[in-house]
Chains A and B, each alone.
Chain A
Amino acid sequence: MNLRLAVRGALVTARKDIRIYYRKAPVYIFGLVLPLFLFFAFFVGRDLDLQRYFPGFLAMTIFFTSSSVGPLIIPWEKQAGNFERLLTLPVTVPMIVLGDTLAGTLFGTLISLIILGVGSLFLPLSIGLSSVLGLAALFFLGNLCFAALGVLISSPAGRVPSNVMMLSTLVRFPLIFISGIFTPLVELEGSARTLGMLSPLSYLSDGLNGVMGQETLVPIWVGMLVMAAFTLVFLVAASLVLESKAMKGL
């Protein structure tokens, strides 16, 4: 495969997604408003230490924002007739998957940086200089991983976005509750902890706890490696599934 053409195809796809799809209302509803409501539902009226739970909230925001658009792009494009045409352009299915993932990563990173900035105004966050690199790496890996998950969710989809959103909700909500967002992993025991270890989101929230000076279950670099492995699995699986289901709904 011509690498130059491959990189170009993925980057143009990401650019196209950002220009077209990141202005749409469902992206902000599912990506930003929803995690905010979840956060308020958990914290309002309870005497909880916000600083302690901020890393979990940040992880949840990264999870929701980066995976919000991926599930919608392919059904939207199939519905509008753009997807078939995309396949006639000098791009391959893995490049489309990578491009959609990169767009989700960029959007998720931007929104989570804003949340971090706003959070740091109100909370005395303790992020040492040495942790900034770790934080940057966690932001990038977390957004990449969950953007890839979003694209994987959409890969078997036809042309009806609401069907994909149902599947997306079925996958994403359970992950929120098992991944140490509302109760840090270190405080979980037994099967709850074992279940939590199966979720890539657990490693992001655990890592963010670590860079913000809190206790972690696994070393941060181990969590990063696990997230990188999940990302690779999601990207390969999304490419394979989309390759076989590309014509569904066309």
Chain B
Amino acid sequence: MADQNGSSGDDLEHSISAEGLSKSFHGFQAVDGVSFQVRKGEFFGILGPNGAGKTTTIRMLTGVLKPDQGRILIDGIDLRRDALAAKQRMGVIPEVGTVYTDLSARENLELFGMYYGLSKPVRQERATQMLKDLELHDRADDLVKTFSKGMKQRISIGCAMVHDPSVLFLDEPTEGLDVQSRKLILDRVRAMNAAGCTVVITTHNIEEASRLCQRVCIINKGQVVTVDSPEHLKSTFEQTRSVEVAFEGQVSCQELSPSCMLRVEESGDKMRIFTSDPDRTIEEIMRLRDERGLRILSLSTLGPSLEDVFLKLTEAKR
């Protein structure tokens, strides 16, 4: 049964419902019939190669772009019919730290609080708390133009969270940040999620998505390839198991040639051998060690990573 807003009871169980979204630019179909739903309180990732349609999808979900076709519900509110009420529930963190650099950190937080209709005492209190949480309280009254990239991104995150949104969109939030800022931001986002906020993240960092997200949506060429949990996706690609080894001393990957070996990737001082039979591969590694009198520094067997799954799925669509 649909309510006045056109949303059914099923829609109300979801924070976000995207139905058949399409968008084209000058004849180029950027997004073609994208549909997925995000449950309330879920940590959801949108992954895809460059030009896959992630940014266009996020721009439609956040009300920046109007879809040519399709419908978006945010907490059951139709974004097209009542954009203001839907946007009121969102916090959006764009890729670059888009805050007003001619304002101070506190002024930025209070300005965004004003846009979301917080009263003066509430926005002052929230701004002060946010500055503490983001470890910027000692720079609260400095102009943002004097901040580093990581500090600007922290303020950007704070501006999106100042009104305690029920849905948070993050577009590449940790891209190019230092380790401390990255950790601080992810900790803060995890805390919001633990408190019940739905989080949608787009990232190129697939391992980060694997660690954070309960489900991921992989988009390629403007279409949804799959929506599933990272662990379930990995389990469907078990044939891409691998053995990672690091020897003391120089070893060429040509020296390893078991028939079960699919390919070898060298990364730093390690070799990752993709194999259909890890046991035989380890035997081969031991043979090489004994023959050459080498010393093994580390040896581990690995399941397929989300990155492997991503590559398989997106390559299949090319």
Point out residues on A near B: beta carbons under 8 Å.
Answer: 1-2, 5-6, 8-9, 12, 15-16, 19-20, 23, 80-82, 84-85, 87-92, 246-247
By the criterion CB–CB under 8 Å, are B111 and A16 in contact?
yes
Q: Which residue of A lies closest to B113 (CB)?
A: A12
By the criterion CB–CB under 8 Å, are B100 and A82 in contact?
yes
C-alpha gap A5/B89 in the complex (Å): 13
Q: Chain B 110-147, CB within 8 Å of chain A: the 1/0 string?
A: 01101111000000000000000000000000000000
Which B residues are CB-close (under 8 A) to A247?
64-65
Q: Which residue of A lies closest to B86 (CB)?
A: A90
Q: Chain B 81-105, CB within 8 Å of chain A: the 1/0 string?
A: 0111101101010101011111100
Which B residues are CB-close (under 8 A) to A15?
114
Which A residues are CB-close (under 8 A) to B84?
1-2, 5-6, 9, 90-92
Query: Does B275 touch A at the CB level, under 8 Å?
Result: no
5 more A-B residue pairs beyond the given contacts A9-B115, A84-B94, with a C-beta to C-beta distance below 8 A: A16-B111, A82-B98, A84-B59, A90-B85, A91-B84
Can you list 24 residue pairs at the A/B interface with Cβ under 8 Å?
A: A2-B82, A2-B85, A5-B84, A5-B117, A8-B115, A9-B84, A15-B114, A80-B100, A81-B96, A82-B99, A82-B100, A84-B98, A85-B94, A85-B98, A87-B62, A88-B87, A88-B92, A88-B94, A89-B112, A89-B115, A91-B84, A92-B83, A92-B84, A246-B64
Query: Does B308 touch A at the CB level, under 8 Å?
Result: no
Which A residues are CB-close (under 8 A) to B102?
20, 23
Q: Out of B88, B98, B112, B114, which one reaches A81, CB within 8 Å?
A: B98
Q: Looking at chain A's contact residues, is the secondary structure mostly helix, strand, loop, or mixed?
A: helix
By the criterion CB–CB under 8 Å, are A80 and B98 in contact?
yes
Which A residues are CB-close (under 8 A) to B65?
247
Contact flag A88-B85 (CB < 8 Å), given A12-B114, A16-B111: no
Interface size on B, residues (CB 8 A): 29
By the criterion CB–CB under 8 Å, are A88 and B111 in contact?
no
Point out residues on B near A: beta carbons under 8 Å.
Answer: 59, 62-65, 82-85, 87-88, 90, 92, 94, 96, 98-103, 107, 111-112, 114-117, 169
By the criterion CB–CB under 8 Å, are A88 and B103 in contact?
no
Q: Out of B62, B64, B100, B116, which one reaches A16, CB within 8 Å?
A: B100
- Most-contacted residue by chain B among A5, A89, A90 (CB, 10 A): A89
C-alpha gap A247/B66 in the complex (Å): 11
By the criterion CB–CB under 8 Å, are A85 and B115 in contact?
no
C-alpha gap A12/B110 in the complex (Å): 11
Q: Out of B59, B92, B101, which one reaches A80, CB within 8 Å?
A: B101
By the criterion CB–CB under 8 Å, are B114 and A88 in contact?
no
With both chains docked as a complex, state the minimum distance between the C-beta of A249 and any C-beta of chain B, in angstroms. Answer: 13
C-alpha gap A1/B115 in the complex (Å): 16
C-alpha gap A16/B101 in the complex (Å): 12
Q: Out of B82, B90, B115, which one reaches A91, CB within 8 Å?
A: B115
Q: Out of A2, A20, A80, A88, which one reaches B62, CB within 8 Å?
A: A88
Which B residues are CB-close (under 8 A) to A19?
103, 107, 111
Q: Which residue of A lies closest to B92 (CB)?
A: A88
Which B residues are CB-close (under 8 A) to A91?
84, 87, 115
With both chains docked as a complex, state the minimum distance between the C-beta of B285 and any C-beta of chain A, in angstroms. Answer: 50
Which A residues are CB-close (under 8 A) to B98?
80-82, 84-85
Which A residues are CB-close (under 8 A) to B103?
19-20
C-alpha gap A48/B98 in the complex (Å): 52
Q: Out of B64, B82, B101, which one reaches A88, CB within 8 Å?
A: B64
With both chains docked as a complex, state the minimum distance between the C-beta of B200 and any C-beta of chain A, in angstroms. Answer: 13
By the criterion CB–CB under 8 Å, are A85 and B117 in contact?
no
**Which 10 pairs of residues, A with B, have the shortest CB-CB distance?**
A88-B92, A81-B98, A5-B84, A90-B87, A85-B98, A88-B62, A87-B64, A89-B115, A12-B114, A90-B88
With both chains docked as a complex, state the minimum distance between the C-beta of A56 and any C-beta of chain B, in angstroms. Answer: 35
Q: Which residue of B lies closest to A8 (CB)?
A: B117
With both chains docked as a complex, state the minimum distance between the C-beta of A87 and any C-beta of chain B, in angstroms. Answer: 5
Which B residues are CB-close (under 8 A) to A90?
84-85, 87-88, 115-117
C-alpha gap A15/B123 in the complex (Å): 16
Q: Out of B64, B88, B111, B116, which one reaches A84, CB within 8 Å?
A: B64
C-alpha gap A80/B152 in the complex (Å): 13
Q: Which residue of A lies closest to B66 (CB)?
A: A243
- Most-contacted residue by chain A among B87, B103, B112 (CB, 10 A): B87
Which A residues are CB-close (under 8 A) to B107?
19
C-alpha gap A15/B96 in the complex (Å): 24
Q: Which residue of A lies closest to B111 (CB)?
A: A16
Contact flag A88-B100 (CB < 8 Å), given A2-B85, A9-B115: no
Q: Out of B83, B85, B101, B111, which one reaches A12, CB within 8 Å?
A: B111
Which B residues are CB-close (under 8 A) to A92?
83-84
C-alpha gap A123/B106 in the complex (Å): 46
C-alpha gap A8/B88 in the complex (Å): 12
Contact flag A85-B92 (CB < 8 Å), given A20-B103, A90-B87: yes
With both chains docked as a complex, state the minimum distance between the C-beta of A25 and any C-beta of chain B, in angstroms. Answer: 13
